[in-house]
Structure 1
Amino acid sequence: MSEDSKLRIENVTKLYGYGLLGLKKFKALDNISMDIDLTKPRIVVLAGETGSGKTTLLRIIMGMVKPNIGRVFYKGRDIHKLRGSEAKWYRREVQPIFQDPYETFNPLRKIDSYFYDTIRNVVGIKNRGEAEHRIDESLRFVGLSLDRVKGKYPHEFSGGELQRISIARALLTHPKMLLADEPVSMLDATLRVGILNILKNLKEKLNMVIIYVTHDLSTAYYIGDDISIMYRGTLVEYGPISKVYQEPRHPYTYALLESILEPDPSIRERYPAIKPSSIELKEFLIPGCRYANRCPYAKEICWHTLPPPTNVDGVVVRCWKYLDYKQS
């Protein structure tokens, strides 16, 4: 895989302040590394509990947040160093879809104005007829049309329709990658499958790479090709979703999946009972594995040293359990 054909997240760490005046720091993200092949259409899921760092990582990939340590490369270019025409190129190539469709659009602004602004300022199409054709094409991909949205305000649409409109706006630039931050979490269950199917169609028909952030593992399994499990700012397991679901390696992954899967005695025998969670910030401050406080396998090294990524049958896992380690 060449540098020009991948998204490379390299040792990304992000610090945030806490305590009086925020002078103390904790690692909201700690040494995150991951490569995504842009030549293969796929949906990569970032999954984990609220506060695991999923959205922070996504915003770093968007370029909205800059890491304290580490870099993000898209097709060989450091995205946080892009300026001028290169920054505009990245905005065309990589488009976001946000969680709350009602917060995406100004309630006092007509929906079609967002489309015309994107066409003019990002895509660079000035001709009105050509612009309207492009807008209508994007809207029809999600089951709407320009005539349906022209002159209307956000309150005239349902949440599901607004999320489809958000996807259509993102499609205007003909992006190569979409960054979807929990795009169905604010929708009724009856509307979720429709949005998920649109994302699957984007992958299959437009050959897109989609990074899909969620805490809902049932939708993750329905839509995903690969999955990254995050816990307290660390990436604990990453691989094909079928392998991760069928045989979770990291104790946290098992605990997470156990909450949605049918009880299977053959799986349970491999994992002792999980301890209840401690205070979240306390776990962020552990210098080693953040899961050590809850893990039934934790040993001394787990508390002090973050385990390196280890490939186990095609799945990358960060756990001392899978390393041939002998404590001196």
Structure 2
Amino acid sequence: MLKLEGVSKTYKVGAFARQDLAAVRDVSFELRPGEVVSLIGESGSGKSTIGRMILRLTSTTSGTITFGGKDIATLRRGALRDYYREAQGVFQDPFSTYNPVFKADRVLTMIRQSYFPDVGDADWRTRVREALAAVSLNPDLVLDKYPHQLSGGQLQRLLIARALLLDIKLLVADEVISMLDASTRIDVLNLLADLKERGLAVLFITHDLSLGNYLADQTVILRRGSIVERGATAEVFGDPTHPYTRTLLSSVPRLGERWTDTELEHGPCRYHQLHPDGTDPAGPALAAVGDDHFVACFALGEDRKCGQP
């Protein structure tokens, strides 16, 4: 349904914009109906930039993003409007999405004005109640409130209800629970799992490995704008191959254990074991190390030798 092929994003920085900053480099992966893909990486790895490019909030420098076989960069006016009917995003800070001088239900009213101007009042109220029920919200407790009167979890679920009103096929969830308390996080995670069961595709952008492991079918590990490892979540977490992935997993706190900063042995580069000729530009960006498990050269994006055999 959603396919990224060789997507890169470069920003002009510095005095007179003379320098290039590569935020995303040659990223390729797919997202299918009813599938959750976790995009995992540290801050500054390019995760949110990828989400914004998928939602056409930022343009790509090179590569293509297709949705339903159509290149989203070519969409204009009515076609772009139709795209947003099927693809929506929910972001990290729910409070920034709302205008504090308007009541929270304005985000739903704007959807009606843009996409359902001919729907009657009674029918619209029914649709709103059904969408709110799907995200476990009571209309009487949220619709007549200002944003500051609602919790972050309520505001996030209200945004997801807005997306459900459009009957979307793709949800880009960018750090949607990082600002929520622990008791609310599980509610939002379970909601995303329920939406997945209904056939909704979810790109779950996070820096939290445990959350990605809990929710995702596929996992993409991003470092400095490049994919270093991707595949089935069970494979990536059960047999991490890239040193960066292993470093991330070793950094997860464990109950009853004192965390220590240990140096991991990288060993020989798995990419070069499978592709002895090196990272030929015409060759594959990732090497298959399993049935649904791929890894990049260990030195990808770094000025050092990768330890190839």
TM-score (norm. length: structure 2):
0.86
**Structure 2 match to 1:14:** 9
**Structure 2 match to 1:268:** none
| CA distance, structure 2, for counterparts of residue 249 and residue 240 of structure 1 | 13
Report the residue type matching 1:33 in the other structure. Answer: S
- Which shows bigger deviation, 152-161 or 16-25? 16-25
- 1:246-286 per-residue CA deviation (whole Å, 9 max, x = no partner) reads 100111111111111769xxxxxxxx9349xxxxxxxxxxx
| CA distance, structure 2, for counterparts of residue 21 and residue 121 of structure 1 | 40
Give the match's secondary structure for 1:311.
strand
User: 1:92·1:174 contact (CA, 8 Å) conserved in 2?
Assistant: yes
- Number of positions where the alignment pairs a residue of Structure 1 with one of Structure 2: 288
**Structure 1 match to 2:259:** none
Alignment of 1:4-43 (within 5 A): 6-38=1-33, 41-43=34-36
**Structure 2 match to 1:84:** 77
Report the residue type matching 1:14 in the other structure. Answer: K
User: 2:13·2:21 contact (CA, 8 Å) conserved in 1?
Assistant: yes
TM-score (norm. length: structure 1):
0.81
Q: Indicate the percent of aligned positions where both proteins have the same amino acid.
A: 37
Q: 1:304 to 1:311 in 2, by over 3 A?
A: closer
Q: 1:302 to 1:216 in 2, by over 3 A?
A: farther
Q: 1:273 aligns with which of 241, 263, 283?
A: 263
User: 1:99·1:185 contact (CA, 8 Å) conserved in 2?
Assistant: yes
Report the residue type matching 1:211 in the other structure. Answer: L
Q: Does 1:211 align with 2:203?
A: yes
The alpha-carbon deviation at position 170 of structure 1 amounts to 1.4
Q: Does 1:318 align with 2:308?
A: no
**Structure 2 match to 1:269:** none
User: 2:132·2:161 contact (CA, 8 Å) conserved in 1?
Assistant: yes
The alpha-carbon deviation at position 104 of structure 1 amounts to 1.3
Report the residue type matching 2:142 in the other structure. Answer: V
Q: Does 1:96 align with 2:89?
A: yes
- 1:182-202 per-residue CA deviation (whole Å, 9 max, x = no partner) reads 000011122111111111111
| CA distance, structure 1, for counterparts of residue 178 and residue 85 of structure 2 | 26
| CA distance, structure 1, for counterparts of residue 26 and residue 177 of structure 2 | 29
User: 2:6·2:62 contact (CA, 8 Å) conserved in 1?
Assistant: yes
Give the match's secondary structure for 1:111.
coil
User: 2:40·2:206 contact (CA, 8 Å) conserved in 1?
Assistant: yes
Alignment of 1:196-235 (within 5 A): 196-204=189-197, 206-235=198-227
Q: 1:309 aligns with which of 286, 291, 300?
A: 286
User: 1:91·1:122 contact (CA, 8 Å) conserved in 2?
Assistant: no
| CA distance, structure 1, for counterparts of residue 278 and residue 22 of structure 2 | 17
Alpha-carbon RMSD: 2.7
Instruction: Give every structure 1 segment of 4 or more consecutive aligned residues whose post-TM-superposition deviation is greater than 6 Å.
Output: 301-307
**Structure 2 match to 1:133:** 126
Give the match's secondary structure for 2:105.
helix
User: 1:98·1:180 contact (CA, 8 Å) conserved in 2?
Assistant: yes
User: 1:203·1:209 contact (CA, 8 Å) conserved in 2?
Assistant: yes
| CA distance, structure 2, for counterparts of residue 149 and residue 20 of structure 1 | 48
**Structure 2 match to 1:108:** 101
Q: 2:135 aligns with which of 119, 142, 145?
A: 142
**Structure 1 match to 2:59:** 66
